[in-house]
Structure formats: structure tokens, C-alpha cells
Amino acid sequence: MVKKIRTLILCALCGLLLCSAAMAETRVIDLCGIFTEKEIAQMEEKIAAIREKFGMDCAVVTSDLVPENLRYETEEETQAYADAWYEDHDYGEGDDQAGLIYLIDMKNRLPYIGTAGVMIDYISDRRLKDLMETADPYLQKGQFGASALAVLDKLSGILAKGIEEGHFRYDSETGKRLTGLYNKLTTGEIVLSSVAGVITMLALGFGIWARYNLKRSTYHFNKETQSSVSLSRDEKIFLRQHVTRTHISSGGSRGGGHGGGGSGVHISSGGMSHGGGGGRHF
């Protein structure tokens, strides 16, 4: 009897361990029950593909437990909740815990994307805006699962393109730039550099060859010193006038804010750097 009880307890413990391990691997947490099972399965599949292909984590969370934001247009509570969720569940890949969390805040009716690690660099403000615009039509129609799937699809495309040229991080509170511009050598630049190198080489070679072989005219009459002009008539007659007006555009923002090539960064209460931002209320 004692043996049977011991066996049952062991089985229960093993079951619990297995369940907690399965929970740890789950990246779609639907606390509000607004996703269908099919949608959850599709999301898990897409997230697994992203993790395997790009080595960065991804999670989708719905919750109505987020405290209310101070004002309708602010997102501080949603942001804090997303950051805390990401850190508490130990999401992220690699030393920098790179990854993204897509939170559908049902309390504030606000979508939020939070980033960490190198994912901050991939998801610039411009790309964040793109992701939110991708999700927005579905959210407005109450198709929450479809919005998450659309975000994951868009994210795969973004990650495949790599970090944007000229990307930088900045402090989202002060606007101060935190890193230099991100540059990488593209294939186009290598091709252009090669072409410029070859053209320079040929031009230099041809120039020297032409100079050594007297391919240019050697005749030169110095008009400045060997000629003189005395004018007896000098008339400048006005014919017509043409006026053009060009409007000076006021000029847009040059990075550093939403829509730019930079990523705004803030520090969570847990001390970790996060990027990201919210979308339009639904």
C-alpha cells in the first residue's frame, strides 16, 4: 500500500515537472481566452520557426490584469507589465536575452510590443510602427488571434532584412543618442567600390599612358599674356526676365522618434533595457 502511494506521488511529481517544463516552452499565453486553439497552434509554430531561424525569442500574451494607464494616451502601465512579464518568465535568447513580446492589454484596450537584447536594434521605431499598423485592422475588428499571426509574419520578414542601415539607440525619455549609427557593408556597396576601384585604376593608367605618349595637344598659346583687347562698344541690352519660386519644405524629424531609424530604449524596474511601444487603442 505504501509502495502504491509512493508510486502515485512520484508519478504526480513527474507529471507536474513535465507540465511546468511544457509551460516554460509555451510562448503564447492567452489569459483572456481570446485566441482559438488553432490560432495558438499556428502562433507557436511561427514562434518556433523564428527562434530556430533567427536565434531570438518571441512571445504573445493577452491579459486583462494590467493596471490602468494614468491617461488614455499613455502606456506606462502596459509597458511595465510587458517588461515584467518578459523578465519574470525568463524569455529571451542568448546572453542579452534577445526577444520580443506582443502584449494585447485587454484592460486598457491597447496593443504593446516590447523588445530586449539585439531585438531592440532590429525593431526600430519605424518598424515598430509598421508592426502596429499590420496588427491594427485586425484589432479594430476584434480579430485578436489574426493580429498576433500578422505581427509574427511581419516580424519574420523584418528579421530576415537585418538591422536597418543607420540605426541607433536613443533614450526614449531624453532623446539622447546612446549608440553610434549602425552600418554594414552591403553587396551593392562592395560592387560599387569594386567598380570605382577598377575605374580609378583604368583612368590613372590611361592618364599616365596618354601623358607619356603625348595624346593630348602640346600646343598652348597664352591668351592672357600674349593678347590685349580694347573695346570701343560694350552694350548689354535687357531682353526679358523669368522668375521661379521654390517652396522650402519644413523638413521632417531626422530620427530619434517614432517613424525614424532609431530605437527608443528605456530601463525596466528590473534593470533591463527594453525597446518597444504601443499601438492604437481598439
Partner 1 sequence: MAGTFQFKCPACGGYLEFDPGKGKAVCPYCGTAIDEKELEEESRRREAEARQGENSGSSGQGNTGSESLKEYHCQMCGAEIVTDATTAATRCYFCHNPVVITDRVSDAYQPDGIIPFRIDREEARRQFDAYLKKHHFTDRRFFTGAQLEDFSGVYYPYWIGSMVGDASYSGEGKTVSSVTIRNEIVTTTQYYRLERAGRIAYRNMIRKALEKADRQLSDGIHPYDQEEMKPFSSGYLSGFLAEKRDVEQIAARESMEREANGYAERLLTENSGLSGLKGQASFTPDVVNLRYALLPAWVLTWKHPIRKRVYYYMMNGQNGKICGRIPLSWPKLAIVCGAVGAAVFGLLCAGGAYLW
Chain residues that interact with partner 1, rule: CB under 8 A: 183-186, 189-190, 192-194, 196-198, 200-202, 204-205, 208-209, 212-214, 217-223, 226-248, 250
Between 167 and 266, name the residue whose CB sits nearer to partner 1. Answer: 167
In the complex, what is the shortest distance from the CB of residue 65 to partner 1, in angstroms, rounded to a whole number? 47
Q: Nearer to partner 1 by C-beta: 41 or 196? A: 196
Residue 35: C-alpha distances to residues 41, 82, 104, 249 (Å): 10, 19, 11, 46
Q: Give least dist CB 163 to partner 1, A.
A: 13
Beta bridge partners of 99: 57, 116
90 vs 234, which CB is nearer to partner 1? 234
CB 277 within 8 A of CB 113: yes
Best CA proximity match to 257, nearest among 159, 174, 154: 174
Distance CA 202, CA 60 (A): 57
Task: Name which of 250 and 269 has its Cβ closer to partner 1.
Answer: 250
Least distance between partner 1 and beta carbon 217 (Å): 8
Residue 224 beta carbon to partner 1: minimum distance, rounded to whole angstroms: 10
CA distance 129 to 136: 10
Q: Are 276 and 151 in contact (CB under 8 A)?
A: no
DSSP state of 273: E
Q: Which is nearer to partner 1, 36 or 183 (CB)?
A: 183
Residues in the chain: 282
User: How far from each other are the two terminal CA atoms of the chain, in whole angstroms?
Assistant: 58
Nearest C-alpha neighbor of 94 from the set 52, 60, 58, 55: 55
Supply the minimum distance, in Å, between the C-beta of residue 160 and partner 1. 21
Tell the smallest beta-carbon distance from residue 117 to partner 1 (Å): 23
Tell me whether residue 2 or residue 248 sits nearer to partner 1 (CB atom).
Answer: 248
